[in-house]
Amino acid sequence: MKRFRPFRFLLGAALLGPLQGLHAQADGPPARVQVDPSQITLDVGGSARLKAVAYDASGRAVTTPIGWFSTSRRSVEVDSTGAVKAHAAGQFKIVAVAVGASARAEVTVTVRWPAIKGVSILDGPHKMYVGTTVRHQAIVKDAAGLERHDSPVKWSSDNEGVLSVDRFGDVTPLRAGVGQLLASSGGMSTSRRITIVANPARTVILTASMDSARTGDVVHFTAVAKDAAGNTIADMPITFSVKAAVEDTVIASEASALIEQDGRFVAQRAGDFTVIATAGHLAARKSVAIGHRYVSLRLEDAKGEGRVKDVHTSDIWVWSGKDGRDYALTGTWGAGGATYFWDVTDPANPVMTDSLVVDARTTNDVKVDEERGICIITREGASNRKNGFIVVDCSDPRHVKILSSYDDGLWGGVHNTFVWNKHVFAINAGRRFDIISIEDPSHPKRVGFFELDTPGHGIHDVWVVNGIAYASQWQDGVILVDVGNGIAGGSLSHPVQISSYKYPIGATHSAFPYRNKTNGKFYVFVGDEQFPYGSKDRGVEEAGGYIHIVDFTDIKNPKEVGRYQIPEAGPHNFWIENDTMYVAYYNAGLRVVDVSGELMGNLYDQGRELARFKAFDPNGFVPNAPMAWGPQPHKGHIFFSDHNSGLWAVKLPERPRPTVP
């Protein structure tokens, strides 16, 4: 959860400031801190150095360590020596703290944007046909080479009688000739010469990949413009739009369908839809019939609970033991460092088989190497600040034993891990992931690590499949790293970044790669977590955000194509298997979603949700307050941990049959 994100506190090795010549005398405790200068103004990319001195109540300078931190470290960063670097415009605060005391001082940092240096019109046609319309885009950059979205672009034409353009950059040629398209911003401008020719199109032919479908199915429309001789005009711009006639039970409906300008169409309401392809003054129409998909079911039957009523529960892992029985492992959060082992062979009646207590406040993540019978338990909040993780022999889940602990360089805490190829990928203090060999589980050793170099970067989770690590890097998005796949020459000791994707608003909390069984497309599902978000329900915090669906089929050119967003909550962890996604949607409970076929738009609106379950327990740690944390399907059941009540198991019903018109 985002509230666990480590706070970057930087400690100077000693008092920073002019302390030469201080007499040896008994200093009082720090009462105030003075920073020089008390405020600074920088340009983006600029830097400065701050100095701090602590004083006791009598006004005497005292020798004490000074800690530095930025309240907006992605915009303005500060290191342990007081060196400041500006990355984004605005007004920010840097704080100097006398370590071990309450004395502190704030410095206001004002960061200015550099002057606009240039405007460029992005790729667009240099030849256009009379009567067509093409939207153009421009990019504005400043003297620091940064793209400036805050500086609006003004569009104009040197001859509106030949070439018309509106304020959005939509360009429409009116008659044959030559025109200049102009874009200006911040006192800078650029132009593009466009040749306009007569429109040769005489017909537009529109076809669809299917004539009937269900809500959520992607239909591909193809439009072709032809001249008088029947030849295809390959560079003719064609615009798609859609007209809906939804079933009469829907009154005052919202947008009932979506069509992209590449011809991909999806409907979220049942009914008849007509897609219109326009090329200048010509148009073609094609209709499709859309039927209902599913009705969401409540998962009420054959439910089982392993109640944890004295602490919060964190993550879960379920596996089949060597003895043929099924087991689950759950962690705890903000408690006393406990983890619990359960026999879940009878999912309706989980039975605790053993427990383990380590020096930690939170054992957030638990992972199991099923083949070797080894469990990994993360540690945060250890009494001696040596956190890291614990390696446990769980080959007999009724009598587990610790094999080793590993904390070298992991003192800041390990929030999440993943186990792949006898190696643990451990999130190190929310900054990077370290790769630790457990080939000899009694003697773990670090073999590599991966860390971004972006300002204020952070990481929350990592998932590894086929030698590719999918790192969830908060505002930097999801990063794909070669850790042994070979696609980019990476290895466990030398990880190499392959690709990445980030979205402008949100925080990448978790990612799950999945190759669609029905069409072979490769998607990465990215969980965007905003926590806490909005109001509290009976004192329980609510979450925001949603799951982004990113098409990584072309691994170097990912494209966000869809989402799963519900109105009342945001997602935590999730799992995808057999074209079905299982989401722990915090206060909205467990959700089960169909992710078969090509994906586009909001899966929730399309009726792809198969089932849901909220874990109400009047005797839970927080009574009757569902807070689903992590799901995992196993042998026809869905097991999940609930933050406020413990371990749950529900029976997965048969997938309802779709309705096809």
Sketch out the chain's domains with CATH numbers.
2-112 (2.60.40.1080), 116-197 (2.60.40.1080), 208-291 (2.60.40.10), 297-451+458-651 (2.130.10.10)
Cβ 79 vs Cβ 13: under 8 Å: no
What is the C-alpha separation between 608 and 596, in angstroms, rounded?
9
Six token digits for residue 630: 């992590």
**Helix (H), strand (E), coil (C) string for 282-324:** EEEEEEEEEECCCCCEECCCCCEEEECCCCEEEEEEEEECCCC
Helix (H, G, I), strand (E, B) or coil at 224: strand
What is the C-alpha separation between 62 and 22, in angstroms, rounded?
9
pLDDT greater than 80 at residue 639: yes
Whole-Å CA distances, 193 to 135, 156, 161, 165, 456: 15, 13, 15, 13, 42
Report which DSSP code applies to 372. Answer: T
Predicted confidence at residue 363, as pLDDT, reads 96
**Which H or E element spans position 140?**
strand 138-142
Name every residue whose Cβ is closer than 8 Å to that of residue 202 and which is 6 or more positions away in sequence: 226, 227, 228, 282
Question: Residue 496: exposed, middle, or buried by beta-carbon count in 10 A (0-12, 13-18, 19+)?
Answer: middle
Question: Residue 400: exposed, middle, or buried by beta-carbon count in 10 A (0-12, 13-18, 19+)?
Answer: buried
Strand residue runs (E) in 231-281: 239-246, 257-259, 264-267, 271-279
What is the C-alpha separation between 96 and 106, in angstroms, rounded?
6
What is the C-alpha separation between 86 and 78, in angstroms, rounded?
9
Continuous H helices in 397-454: none
pLDDT greater than 70 at residue 189: yes
- Over residues 154-182, the mean pLDDT reads 94
pLDDT greater than 90 at residue 505: no
CA neighbor of 133 nearest in space, from 167, 178, 177, 163: 163
- In which band, very low, low, confident or very high, does the pLDDT at 21 lie, cut at 50, 70 and 90? very low
What is the C-alpha separation between 548 and 601, in angstroms, rounded?
10
- Over residues 522-550, the mean pLDDT reads 81
What is the C-alpha separation between 277 and 217, in angstroms, rounded?
20
pLDDT tens by residue, 321-380 = 999 999 999 999 998 999 999 999 999 999 999 999 999 999 999 999 999 999 999 999
Cβ 433 vs Cβ 26: under 8 Å: no
Strand residue runs (E) in 358-450: 366-369, 374-378, 389-393, 401-406, 417-420, 423-428, 432-437, 445-450
Show the CA angle centred on residue 123, arms to residues 117 and 125, nearest 5°: 130
Cβ 275 vs Cβ 262: under 8 Å: no
pLDDT tens by residue, 434-489 = 999 999 999 999 999 999 998 888 999 999 999 999 999 999 999 999 999 999 99
Predicted confidence at residue 293, as pLDDT, reads 87
Amino acid at 645: S
Predicted confidence at residue 477, as pLDDT, reads 96
DSSP class per residue in 468-509: EEEEE-BTT-EEEEESSS-TTS--SSS-EEEEEE--SSS-EE
Whole-number average pLDDT of the chain: 90
Predicted confidence at residue 249, as pLDDT, reads 63
Predicted confidence at residue 19, as pLDDT, reads 34
Q: What is the largest CA-CA distance in the chain?
A: 100
**Helix (H), strand (E), coil (C) string for 582-614:** EEECECCCEEEEECCCCCCEECCCCCCEEEEEC
- In which band, very low, low, confident or very high, does the pLDDT at 642 lie, cut at 50, 70 and 90? very high
What is the distance, to the nearest Å, from the Cα of residue 452 to the centroid of all Cα atoms in its chain?
Answer: 16
Cβ 174 vs Cβ 130: under 8 Å: yes
| Least confident range of 135-139, 405-409, 501-505, 647-651 | 501-505
- In which band, very low, low, confident or very high, does the pLDDT at 17 lie, cut at 50, 70 and 90? very low
pLDDT tens by residue, 280-313 = 899 999 999 999 887 777 676 668 999 999 999 9
Report which DSSP code applies to 164. Answer: E
| Least confident range of 142-151, 240-249, 377-386 | 240-249
What is the C-alpha separation between 30 and 62, in angstroms, rounded?
7
Q: Under the phi-then-psi rule, with left for phi > 0, alpha for psi from -120 to 50, and beta for the rest, what region is 150? A: alpha
Cβ 599 vs Cβ 547: under 8 Å: no
Helix (H, G, I), strand (E, B) or coil at 2: helix
Phi, psi of 581 (to 5 degrees): -110, 135
